[in-house]
Structure 1
Amino acid sequence: MADAIAFTDTLLKYTIIISSIFIGVSLLLLLYRIFKGPTNPDRAVGLDTIGINLMALTGIIAIYLSTPYLNDVALLVGILGFLGTLATAKYVEKGVIIDRDMD
């Protein structure tokens, strides 16, 4: 039984390391897409995907630290990413974020 627990601890450790590396590489590639993206919608998709990757990285850190407190942080990052995506989509579509029409 002790061998099985040691194996799962080792497997979890290596999975967290590999996942963190892949998410880090993904974040670097997304930063490149944001700075060199040919169009504004490409940049918006890059920002949205960075938010999703930050949520995943927060979840991985929560698993590594064995704490449920970072789940609130992941939800907050998700909500802020969603609001940012809405604002960016409105800007790309209309050219303004807040309409000043008093009809």
Structure 2
Amino acid sequence: MIATAVVIALHVVGIAMLLSLWRLLRGPSLPDRILALDTLYVNTIAALMLFGMHLGSAIFFEAALIIAMLGFVGTVVLSRYVLGRDIVR
């Protein structure tokens, strides 16, 4: 029962990733694309965690943590770029 719920959740997260990718490629403005990229990495974290639960492996949780840290830094850098400020101070 729980394994079925995890597989269904993986499919739903996969659809969300495809929709985020579509917005990333077709976004009307740069802030929309940055938000889509942010959403895409959050969906990737969710997919990795669900896949780790499905396989019973802890390595996927560590990979999700690394993606979360890199995604946060990337979002901050891109946001500072959009605001027109200096990226590195």
How big is each residue's C-alpha offset from its partner over 1:26-55, in whole Å with a ceiling of 9 and x where there is no partner? 111111111111111110010001110111
Inter-partner Cα distance in structure 2 for 1:95 and 1:32: 28
Q: Could you say what secondary structure the match of 1:97 adopts? A: coil
Matches within 5 A, 1:8-87: 11-87=1-77
Q: Which has the higher contact order (CA 8 A, sep 6+)?
A: 2
Identity %: 30
The offset of 1:95, in angstroms, is 6.4
- The RMSD of aligned alpha carbons is 1.4
Question: Which stretches in structure 1 are left out of the alignment for 5+ residues?
Answer: 1-10
1:94 to 71, 84, 89: 84
1:39-94 CA-to-partner distances (Å, cap 9, x unmatched) read 11110010001110111011001111112222111100000100110111011111
Task: Give every structure 1 segment of 4 or more consecutive aligned residues whose post-TM-superposition deviation is greater than 4 Å.
Answer: none
TM-score by length of 2: 0.91
Aligned length: 89
The separation in 1 between residues aligned to 2:74 and 2:53, in whole angstroms, is 27
Residue ranges of structure 2 left out of the alignment (5+ in a row): none
- TM-score in terms of structure 1 length: 0.80
Larger Rg: 1
Report the Cα distance in structure 1 between the residues aligned to 2:24 and 2:39, rounded to whole angstroms: 10
